[in-house]
Amino acid sequence: MQIGYTKSGETLEELAARTYAFEGKESATALRAAGQALRDANPFLRKLSEVPEGTAVLVPPLEKTTPAADTEQPAETAVALVVARLREAADQAIELLGGELKTEVADTRSTLETLAATDTRKLVRGDDALLAIHDATHDAAKERLDAADTLGDYRKQVSKQIDQDLKELLAALRLSGA
């Protein structure tokens, strides 16, 4: 059994013509029979117009046909699905970290703006203890910005490495026949 995918606005016969390779020229009768086989294997195709594009459909064996090039083995579909889910999870983690970094940078810049404000400078002028706290806070904020930049660079490296690792995993799984 093979796996095919629906396309938007296509009829059952068009799906059959795409998922089966007929011996010789396919007839209207052969296309109807192939469509019926698809519908029997995939009852949700009875309302094909409601099926989202890209939905996987089972393509059962049918006499005087072979699976079309537009289909794939279930194992290939499973591998692609697993890799796609891993990629989605990795992308979500990278995006979450990116959001946290943006918040960290925004908060730190706000701190630096407050420290640089005229009113703040007037307040600490002439008070050595407040000036020491101000300067220490300023230095710590600068260190936070540097750390956020470093983490942002590392995030980009990790993202690239995850992408490469997933490509290698997909290639390895395909070579193993999984």
Query: Nearest 5°: phi and psi at 43?
Result: -55, -25
At 178 the pLDDT is 57
At 67 the pLDDT is 77
Report the first-to-last Cα separation within the chain, whole angstroms.
Answer: 15
What single-letter amino acid sits at 25? K
CB 83 within 8 A of CB 166: yes
Q: To which residue do tokens 């703006």 refer?
A: 113
What is the residue extent of each domain of the chain? Answer: 2-67, 74-176
At 131 the pLDDT is 94
Return averaged pLDDT per consecutive 10 residues of the chain, 178 residues in all: 87 90 85 91 91 90 82 72 84 91 95 95 92 96 95 92 86 70
At 84 the pLDDT is 82
At 105 the pLDDT is 95
At 136 the pLDDT is 96
Is the whole model's pTM more than 0.75, yes or no? no
